[in-house]
C-alpha cells in the first residue's frame, strides 16, 4: 500500500462519523434521497442471488446510460448473470430504475470510506467490477481487488488538468488503476494520458455513448403537445442546460423574427423554480411540466423540468441548443442523441469532456459551435441541414466501441460449467 493510499484511507476513516451531517444537508437540497441514505452506507441492501454478479458503477445520467446498454448486452451473452448498478445522483437513480432488466438492481453508490466500501464488496461479492469514465474511488477499488474480483475501467476519459493532478500521486494511480484487468479509453488523448501515468499501453476503444440508441418518446404526449402548444410554429429546444445557459438561449430566441415555440429541458430538473423565476422576470408566458400544466399555443415556453422525457422533446424540436458548453466547469454533454434523430445541434465551445468526438462531429457538419447570443441566434434563425452522408457514416461506425468492450469484458465473467446447470459456474480468474 502506497503512503498516499494509506493517508487517503486514514482520512476517510476519520471523516466517517461526520458524513451523516453532510448527507442530511444534501438531502435537504434535493441532492440525496432521504429514503435511500442507508444505501450510501452500504446497509440494508437487497439479498445477493447465487451465480455470477457484475457491478457497474457510473457517476450520473450519462455514465449510467452507457452502462445500462453495456449491461443489457452482457445479460444477452450470459443469461444467468446478475447486475448491480450504482450511481451517485438522484436524477440518475430515478431515470435508471424503470429501465433496468429483470435480473438487475440499482443502489445508490456507497460512500468511499473503508467501512462502507468493505460492507458493499462483502455483501455483493462481485465477480467483475466495471467503473465508467473517471470513477476512481480508492477504497472501493482497494476492497474489490482484495476480494479477488476482476476490475475494468471502460470509456475512460481524462482531461489534461486531471492528468496533471494524478501525476502528483502517480504511485497511488498506478496501484489503483495499474492493477485493473481492463483499461479502455474513450478517445486517443485520454489513452495517451493514461499510458503516461500507467507506463503501459492503453487501448482507445472509442466512446461507448456512440452505441446508445436515442431515448424513447411518448407518442400520445408528442401528438398532444404538437397540436396544442407548437400549433404549427417552429419548435426550438434548449436541452441539458445549466445556470446561465437558459438566459443565453432566451436572448438568442428573443431576436428571432418569428414566434417560435421554445422548450427548456434543464440538465437538473430540480432547478425548475429558478428557471420559472427567470421566465416570469422576462414576462414570458409559459407552462411548467413538473406542475402538470398543459401548454397551449398562447405559451411561448414549455419548461420541461421532468425526467425521462428527453426523447419526446428531441423529436418535437426543429433545432437543438445543447447545454453544458457555455457553463463553467461542465465540459459539454453528449450530442449524439439529437444527431441520431437528424436534428441540427449547436453547443458552446467548452466541450473538453468530448473534445475528440466534438471535433469529428463538427468537421462532418453534425454539430456546430456557437460562442454567444449572436451566433446562437444565427443558428436558431436558419439551422444548417444535417448532412445525410455524415449521418449514415456515423450510424455505421456507432457500435464498434461497444462490441470491442464486450469482447474484452465477457471473458472475465464466469459461465456455466454445463448447459442447463444453473448451480455450477466456471471461474475464469
Q: Is the pLDDT of residue 323 over 50?
A: yes
pLDDT in tens, 201-238: 999 998 888 888 888 898 999 999 999 999 999 999 99
Q: Is 303 exposed, middle or buried (CB count within 10 Å of its CB: 0-12, 13-18, 19+)? A: buried
CA 28 – CA 32 distance, rounded (Å): 8
Of 55, 56, 229, the C-alpha closest to 125 is 55
Ramachandran sector of residue 342 (left: φ over 0; alpha: ψ -120 to 50; beta: rest): left
Cell of 43: 446497509
The strand pair at 425-426 and 415-416 is best described as antiparallel
CA distance 8 to 107: 24
429 has pLDDT over 60: no
Q: What is the pLDDT of residue 428?
A: 46
- Categorize the per-residue pLDDT at 416 as very low, low, confident or very high, splitting at 50, 70 and 90: low
- Report the number of secondary-structure helices (H) and strands (E) in the chain: 19, 16
High-pLDDT (> 90) share of the chain, %? 74
Query: Which pLDDT score, from 0 to 100, does residue 395 have?
Result: 87
Is the pLDDT confidence value at 198 over 60?
yes
Assign 423 a pLDDT band (cuts: 50, 70, 90). Answer: very low
Which sign does the torsion angle of CA 336, 339, 341, 344 carry? positive
With 0-12 / 13-18 / 19 or more C-beta atoms within 10 angstroms meaning exposed / middle / buried, residue 174 is middle
What is d(CA 209, CA 340) in angstroms, rounded to the nearest whole number?
12
Residue-wise pLDDT for 137-151, tens only, equals 999 999 999 999 999
Reported confidence tier of residue 426, pLDDT bands at 50, 70, 90: low
What is the average pLDDT across 342-365? 93
Higher pLDDT, 214 or 153: 153
Q: What is the mean pLDDT of the chain?
A: 91
pLDDT tens for each residue of 237-248: 999 999 999 999
Residue 138, φ and ψ in degrees, nearest 5: -55, -45
In this prediction, residues 309-337 reach a mean pLDDT of 95
Amino acid at each position: 500500500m502506497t503512503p498516499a493510499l494509506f493517508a487517503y484511507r486514514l482520512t476517510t476513516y476519520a471523516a466517517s462519523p461526520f458524513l451523516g451531517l453532510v448527507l442530511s444537508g444534501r438531502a435537504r437540497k434535493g441532492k440525496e434521497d432521504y429514503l435511500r441514505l442507508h444505501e450510501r452506507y452500504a446497509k440494508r441492501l437487497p439479498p445477493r442471488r447465487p451465480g455470477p454478479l457484475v457491478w457497474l458503477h457510473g457517476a450520473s445520467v450519462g455514465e449510467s446510460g452507457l452502462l445500462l446498454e453495456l449491461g443489457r448486452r452482457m445479460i444477452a451473452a450470459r443469461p444467468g448473470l446478475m447486475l448491480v448498478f450504482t450511481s451517485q445522483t438522484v436524477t440518475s437513480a430515478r431515470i435508471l430504475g424503470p429501465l433496468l432488466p429483470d435480473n438487475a438492481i440499482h443502489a445508490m453508490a456507497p460512500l468511499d470510506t473503508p467501512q462502507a466500501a468493505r460492507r458493499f464488496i462483502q455483501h455483493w461479492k462481485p465477480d467483475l467490477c466495471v467503473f465508467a469514465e473517471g470513477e476512481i474511488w480508492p477504497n472501493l477499488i482497494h476492497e474489490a481487488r482484495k476480494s479477488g474480483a476482476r476490475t475494468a475501467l471502460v470509456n475512460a476519459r481524462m482531461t489534461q488538468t486531471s492528468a496533471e493532478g494524478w501525476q502528483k500521486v502517480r504511485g497511488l494511480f498506478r496501484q489503483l488503476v495499474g492493477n485493473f484487468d481492463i483499461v479502455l479509453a474513450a478517445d486517443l488523448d485520454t489513452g495517451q494520458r493514461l499510458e503516461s501515468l500507467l507506463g503501459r499501453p492503453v487501448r482507445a476503444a472509442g466512446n461507448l455513448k456512440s452505441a446508445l440508441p436515442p431515448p424513447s418518446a411518448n407518442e400520445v404526449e408528442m401528438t398532444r403537445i404538437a397540436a396544442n402548444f407548437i400549433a404549427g410554429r417552429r419548435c426550438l429546444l434548449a436541452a441539458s442546460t445549466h445556470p446561465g445557459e437558459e438566459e443565453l438561449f432566451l436572448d438568442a430566441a428573443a431576436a428571432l423574427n418569428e414566434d417560435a415555440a421554445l422548450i427548456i429541458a434543464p440538465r437538473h430538473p430540480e432547478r425548475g423554480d429558478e428557471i420559472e423565476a427567470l421566465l416570469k422576470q422576462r414576462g414570458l408566458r409559459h407552462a411548467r411540466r413538473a406542475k402538470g400544466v398543459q401548454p397551449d399555443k398562447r405559451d411561448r415556453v414549455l419548461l420541461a423540468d421532468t425526467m425521462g422525457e428527453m426523447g419526446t422533446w428531441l423529436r418535437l424540436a426543429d433545432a437543438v441548443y445543447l447545454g453544458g458548453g457555455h457553463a463553467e466547469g461542465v465540459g459539454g454533454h453528449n450530442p449524439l442523441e439529437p444527431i441520431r434523430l437528424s436534428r441540427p445541434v449547436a453547443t458552446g465551445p467548452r466541450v473538453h469532456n468530448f473534445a475528440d468526438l466534438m471535433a469529428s462531429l463538427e468537421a462532418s457538419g453534425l454539430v456546430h459551435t456557437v460562442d454567444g447570443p449572436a451566433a446562437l441566434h444565427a443558428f436558431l434563425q436558419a439551422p444548417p441541414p444535417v448532412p445525410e452522408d455524415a449521418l449514415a457514416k456515423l450510424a455505421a461506425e456507432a457500435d464498434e466501441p461497444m462490441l470491442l468492450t464486450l469482447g474484452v469484458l465477457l471473458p472475465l465473467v464466469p459461465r456455466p460449467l454445463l448447459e442447463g446447470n444453473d448451480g455450477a459456474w466456471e471461474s475464469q480468474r
